[in-house]
Structure 1
Amino acid sequence: MKAVKPKKNLGQHFLTDLNIAKRIADTVDACPDIPVLEVGPGMGVMTQYIVEKPRPFKVVEIDRESVAYLNEAFPRLRDNILGEDFLRMDLTKVFDGQQFVLTGNYPYDISSQIFFKMLDNKDLIPCCTGMIQREVALRIASKPGNKAYGILSVLIQAWYNCEYLFTVDENVFNPPPKVKSAVIRMTRNEVTDLGCDEKLFKRLVKTVFNQRRKMLRVSIKQMFSRECMPSAEFFTQDIMTKRPEQLTVAQFVELTNIIEKELSR
């Protein structure tokens, strides 16, 4: 079989270290007994280990050359190789509405979009694992008070417990990326209801982190129109003197409810 040539426009960096591939494949075992969907398998370096696990398994790959290679290399997977764009898929149809583990060696340039799609389908995806750019992994797993703590940290940690598992060097890829990679695991927590308006929560988190160096009393003003600006007293509350990276998820929920109350006046 002819090897697939990595394509720059698809952000392909093929993992070549089989030990690391197996370690990543085994991260799905944290959520056993449910199907697995692998995103961007390329030439199947992780696929070869996941396919041996006794559970339903599908892969989704946008690159036609990789799809042809996978069909030849994994004949028993043939009906479960989806030649589609993961970001455009209806995930409820992948396993007929069943929950599944999401995994992969994710393209760096769309990893955040993949995780936002995971959040949109959080009731379908109790566990997500895989490899991404180290900087993004640090952001996802970061705690309040840390420079890496940001939009992804808050939105994902509201629904998932996040673990930074291990770092992967550049030299185990073809072609080597210019940055280090990391393997993470996100497992659904027990939250079923945030206790606030979810759309407003997302809007708040994105608004204040877009001005992360400013106190909340400054950045939050963007949440209101000139005609509906709260009184000066509203901005003197203790929480308003903090910066966004100082707030826990619970405090963001609390602040969302404070803002919603003010907006409804």
Structure 2
Amino acid sequence: MKQVRPKKNLGQHFLTDLNIAKRIADTVDACKDIPILEVGPGMGVLTQYLTEKQREVKVVEIDTESVEYLRENFPSLNDNIIGEDFLRMDLSGIFGGRRFVLTGNYPYDISSQIFFKMLDNKELIPCCTGMIQREVALRMASEPGNKAYGILSVLIQAWYDVEYLFTVDENVFNPPPKVKSAVIRMTRNDVTDLGCNESLFKRVVKTVFNQRRKMLRVSLRQIFPGKPSADAFFAHDIMTKRPEQLTINQFVELTNMVDKELCLQQDCP
């Protein structure tokens, strides 16, 4: 069968360097003895090395042309090729409720959405690896105090240890992207409970980073439906900081402060 034509609307950039493909496939070795789910296999350049791992492998591909190519060139994988949109899938039944490694050469325009879905299924996904845009990888791995530190950094690092593994140049893709890529690995940490309202934690993080140049005492005001019950709330030392200065533990502390203040306004029992 002829090769698959890369489609711009699907953000397809097919990796052509087999050495790099094998290096990416080997990143799943850190999470042994559990199945592997690959997102966006394309023509299977990564898949061919994953299937050598002697582990159950399934692939999810939205492009019908790629699905046809995979069925013809990977007949042993036929029953494990899922022609669906990963972002719309229920992951709980993929491997009968078992945990799995998530990996892939992720489409750049939806990589953040993929990782948010990973967070929503964090109890099923103890390890996630793969290739993404370098800029996004730097944000995910960034520490407090850096310009790259942001929403992805905090929400992911709250639950996963992030490793920036290596950079990949543009010239090993067809077609070459306009940016460099990077390979990352995320491994679940020991946190089972953040110690705060998790949905409010997400809201606080997104709210303050949407106005990242402003002090917290300014950006947080939009969370409250009315005037805070006491001016003392915004007098806390932490309120003079900007979001990139806060550690994850400080974001948990801040969330609990906001939660308490919201309860005061809403007369919580």
Question: TM-score if structure 2 supplies the norm length?
Answer: 0.97
| Whole-angstrom CA distance in 1 between matches of 2:65 and 2:31 | 31
Identical pairs, percent:
80
Q: Determine whether 1:11 maps to 2:11.
A: yes
Could you list the per-position Cα deviations for residues 97-155 of structure 1 after superposition, in whole angstroms to 9, with x for gaps in the alignment? 00000000000000000000000000000000000000000000000000000000000
Instruction: State the shift of 1:232 in Å.
Output: 1.6
Structure-2 residue corresponding to 1:251: 250
Structure-2 residue corresponding to 1:144: 144
Could you list the per-position Cα deviations for residues 10-64 of structure 1 after superposition, in whole angstroms to 9, with x for gaps in the alignment? 0000000000000000000000000000000000000000001111110000000
Structure 1: tracts of 5 or more residues without a match: none
Q: Determine whether 1:231 maps to 2:251.
A: no
Structure 2 counterpart of 1:230, which letter?
S
| Whole-angstrom CA distance in 1 between matches of 2:75 and 2:199 | 44
Count of residues in correspondence between the two structures: 264
Instruction: State the shift of 1:229 in Å.
Output: 2.1
Q: 5 Å matches for 1:182-221?
A: 182-221=182-221
SS for the counterpart of 2:149 is: coil
Structure-1 residue corresponding to 2:103: 103
| Whole-angstrom CA distance in 2 between matches of 1:193 and 1:220 | 24
Structure 2: tracts of 5 or more residues without a match: 265-269
Question: TM-score if structure 1 supplies the norm length?
Answer: 0.99
SS for the counterpart of 1:254 is: helix
Structure-2 residue corresponding to 1:260: 259
SS for the counterpart of 1:234 is: helix
Q: 5 Å matches for 1:55-70?
A: 55-70=55-70
Q: Determine whether 1:160 maps to 2:160.
A: yes
Instruction: State the shift of 1:236 in Å.
Output: 1.0
| Whole-angstrom CA distance in 1 between matches of 2:254 and 2:147 | 21
| Whole-angstrom CA distance in 2 between matches of 1:202 and 1:36 | 28
| Whole-angstrom CA distance in 2 between matches of 1:17 and 1:64 | 24
Instruction: State the shift of 1:230 in Å.
Output: 3.4
Instruction: State the shift of 1:231 in Å.
Output: 1.8
Structure 2 counterpart of 1:23, which letter?
R
Structure 1 counterpart of 2:35, which letter?
P
| Whole-angstrom CA distance in 1 between matches of 2:159 and 2:239 | 25
| Whole-angstrom CA distance in 1 between matches of 2:261 and 2:170 | 49
The list of structure 1 runs, each at least 4 consecutive aligned residues, that deviate by more than 6 angstroms after superposition, is none
SS for the counterpart of 1:43 is: coil
SS for the counterpart of 1:103 is: strand
SS for the counterpart of 2:229 is: coil
| Whole-angstrom CA distance in 1 between matches of 2:259 and 2:239 | 15
| Whole-angstrom CA distance in 1 between matches of 2:55 and 2:8 | 33
Q: Determine whether 1:242 maps to 2:241.
A: yes
